[in-house]
């Protein structure tokens, strides 16, 4: 493969042109005097370049809030649990069952 940007640009132009036609690779290649395997190679290369482009997703950083001063502190053996006053009771019960298995 040549690293020449002009050469690559020519191939990408051919790939785009091929995608706009309803021709088979064989017919398109014959009309443009290129080999089918070359077209296949550049089609694959073009697909990989598309995959490398940004997806539009943005990284989100989560900032953990400090536990409120009016939190509840539970010590069970060596394990310390600190929860806020608006905790979910079901979740706390599940957590305590797991802690009980560990201790």
Q: Where are the domains of the chain?
A: 5-52, 72-102
DSSP element (H, E) containing 74: strand 72-76
Task: Tell me if 73 sits within 8 A of 81, measured CB to CB.
Answer: yes
Q: Tell me the two tokens of residue 83.
A: 């929860």
Where does the pLDDT of residue 38 fall: very low under 50, low under 70, confident under 90, or very high at 90 and above?
very high
Tokens for 59?
């990284």
pLDDT, average across residues 10-14:
89
For 74-97, what is the mean pLDDT? Answer: 79
Res 32: pLDDT: 94
In b/e form, how buried is each residue of 42-55, taking b as 16+ CB within 10 angstroms? beeebeeeeeeeee
Share above pLDDT 90 across residues of the chain, in percent, rounded to a whole number: 18
């Amino acid at each position: 493969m040549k690293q020449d940007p002009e050469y690559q640009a020519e191939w990408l132009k051919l790939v785009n042109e091929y995608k706009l036609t309803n021709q088979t690779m064989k017919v398109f290649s014959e009309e443009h005097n290129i080999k089918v395997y070359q077209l296949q190679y550049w089609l694959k290369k073009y697909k990989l370049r598309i995959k490398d482009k940004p997806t539009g997703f943005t990284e989100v950083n989560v900032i953990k809030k400090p536990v409120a001063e009016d939190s509840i502190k539970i010590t069970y053996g060596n394990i310390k649990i600190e929860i806020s006053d608006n905790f979910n009771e079901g979740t706390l019960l599940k957590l305590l069952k797991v802690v009980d298995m560990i201790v």
